[in-house]
A = this chain, B = another copy of it.
């Protein structure tokens, strides 16, 4: 195991200097907080993660969550995470005071979860899904359900899950067949099978509260006939006592990574005795679920960013300690009598490390940006501002879900390569990060689904207004960057990418206008990769602008070397990563159509 897994200095730099999170504190919602209290919270989470999460990370991989006698047996730290973490507010953090929350800015909650996830990505999901389930109840359910479930969930005593996927439907939620039958009581009878349910069961939870999508008998077909239910593992009597609710843990899924995080197959109502309570109105379930999906997707991107960072720290530590090989002399030879150098001296190792750094820190900045948008929407009383940041959030969400997870896999792979053969060995931690991070571009909507969302829904949203707002934000940063000589050429290059983006869309849009949506969306994944790289170029330029400002004005929060490293990494991004937009645009505007209607024999 490496000694460190996160870079708190960079996290705080991004929070306070780049994203100016303190500005949020002027709103009424967050008036009880100041920078000092936020820092205290972050520091306490770091200590908690150092003590309770990071030391068990490898062990949880080696002793995976496993199905045994009708339940899933998980590592003992799951209990610590839920109970001790619950006490510290890791679940209650962003909720309103009114329901027992801390009314913590979401961006600070995000920073906190990021630290936990970097320490041990097998654990935060248990708390995160409990939070998401509680959020659905708080927002859409009636007071009785709130009172019964929310306090126990926020404290970590009870777990929570999202039950969407079914074996026959996969990501196609319109094909959900789980059934809800009205009764004469206040509940429905529930029956059906749900798979891939993260945190769906474990021996430490007194109760698990499933937020489940099902179809009320006679409901319209497709996504418009899906309702949301609270289906607890144990029913709660008026006196608080618990009785079984005919929810059965059928099996687990053993996985390549995140092996400490239980993934379950649940059966509901096999004995016709499973009760579920409708949340909000009938047939509105998917709408409710998707209103909460933005924060879920930020969480997944956050996980990718966190694992990239942890892997970077591990690779960096190795590169700083491992002597091997020699530097080239001016005749292109190496002198065998010279002492071997540390591998961090080799340019190619530096390239891999800087790539890890550029992806890990850039991803973090992206995740924090989205969380900040989320906070502005939550806290502003200015309707115009609310709308603006609402659109910006919608626009970036699919990118936030995708870039840190896809680029994160590449970053971790490079990190493994830094260690050579050792990177592939179980004794070293890189191989675990490599396996763990791979799920992040699959769950909560695959990269393919996010890309369809980006190009199919977000780009055309409000007649292109969301995209226009995003491009304006980018242009604003470019304008500021042009004032610094050190950043001018990068700013100009990014300006060219705005123009290129419009060219790409001018090429694609006519397909949609002519009703050829299949063609319009056929290369949506490439567009995702394209726009992600532009957005990351923007975020890196923004990071460099703030660093350069501090360098010019003698900022004291961090060292000169710290600020210089940010400008250096921005330049790295602009040399090695941003150029990819050129080839992606070329592919996107290529006239050949090769993935539609070709014969089956093509494969």
Chain A residues with a Cβ under 8 A of chain B: 165, 169-172, 174-175, 196, 221-223, 253-257, 316, 322, 324-332, 334-337, 340, 344, 346-351, 353-354, 357, 409, 413, 416-417, 420-421, 423-427, 431, 434-435, 438-439, 441-443, 446-448, 451-452, 456, 512, 515-518, 521-526, 559, 561-562, 564-565, 568-569, 571-572, 574-576, 579-584, 586-587, 590, 592, 594-596, 598-603
Which B residues are in CB contact (< 8 Å) with A521? 328, 347
Residue of A423, A582, A594 with most partner-chain B CB within 10 A? A594
**In the assembled complex, how far is the CB of residue A567 from the closest CB belonging to chain B, in whole angstroms?**
10
Which B residues are in CB contact (< 8 Å) with A594? 350, 354, 568, 571-572, 575
Which B residues are in CB contact (< 8 Å) with A439? 421, 424
Complex contact A340–B175 (CB within 8 A):
yes
Copy tally for this chain in the complex stands at: 2
Given contacts A354-B603, A413-B438, A417-B441, 20 further A-B contacts (CB under 8 A): A172-B324, A254-B426, A255-B424, A255-B425, A255-B426, A256-B434, A257-B424, A328-B517, A332-B512, A332-B515, A348-B595, A350-B598, A351-B525, A421-B439, A423-B442, A434-B438, A435-B435, A564-B599, A574-B592, A575-B594
Cα A326 to Cα B223 in complex, Å, equals 13
29 contacts across the A-B interface (CB closer than 8 A): A170-B322, A171-B325, A172-B324, A172-B325, A172-B340, A223-B336, A256-B431, A256-B434, A327-B518, A328-B518, A331-B515, A332-B515, A344-B600, A347-B595, A348-B524, A354-B594, A354-B602, A357-B603, A416-B438, A417-B441, A417-B447, A420-B446, A559-B601, A564-B599, A572-B594, A574-B592, A579-B583, A580-B580, A582-B582
Which B residues are in CB contact (< 8 Å) with A255? 424-426, 431
Complex contact B196–A421 (CB within 8 A):
yes
Which B residues are in CB contact (< 8 Å) with A175? 324, 336, 340
Cα A571 to Cα B334 in complex, Å, equals 44
Which B residue's beta carbon lies closest to that of A334? B174
**In the assembled complex, how far is the CB of residue A469 from the closest CB belonging to chain B, in whole angstroms?**
23
Complex contact B568–A448 (CB within 8 A):
no
Which B residues are in CB contact (< 8 Å) with A517? 328-332
Complex contact B565–A602 (CB within 8 A):
yes
CB-based closest 10 A-B pairs: A222-B336, A561-B601, A347-B522, A256-B431, A330-B515, A579-B583, A350-B595, A332-B517, A347-B595, A583-B583
Contact of A586 among B351, B452, B564, B579 (CB under 8 A): B579
Cα A350 to Cα B522 in complex, Å, equals 10
Complex contact A575–B596 (CB within 8 A):
no
**In the assembled complex, how far is the CB of residue A126 from the closest CB belonging to chain B, in whole angstroms?**
18
Which B residues are in CB contact (< 8 Å) with A523? 347, 351
**In the assembled complex, how far is the CB of residue A530 from the closest CB belonging to chain B, in whole angstroms?**
11
Instruction: Using known A-B contacts A174-B334, A330-B516, A447-B417, determine if residue A354 contacts B575 with beta carbons closer than 8 Å.
Output: no
Which B residues are in CB contact (< 8 Å) with A196? 421
Instruction: Using known A-B contacts A336-B223, A571-B592, A594-B354, determine if residue A420 contacts B442 with beta carbons closer than 8 Å.
Output: yes
**In the assembled complex, how far is the CB of residue A416 from the closest CB belonging to chain B, in whole angstroms?**
7
**In the assembled complex, how far is the CB of residue A375 from the closest CB belonging to chain B, in whole angstroms?**
31
Which B residue's beta carbon lies closest to that of A522? B347
Cα A171 to Cα B419 in complex, Å, equals 11
Which B residue's beta carbon lies closest to that of A601? B561
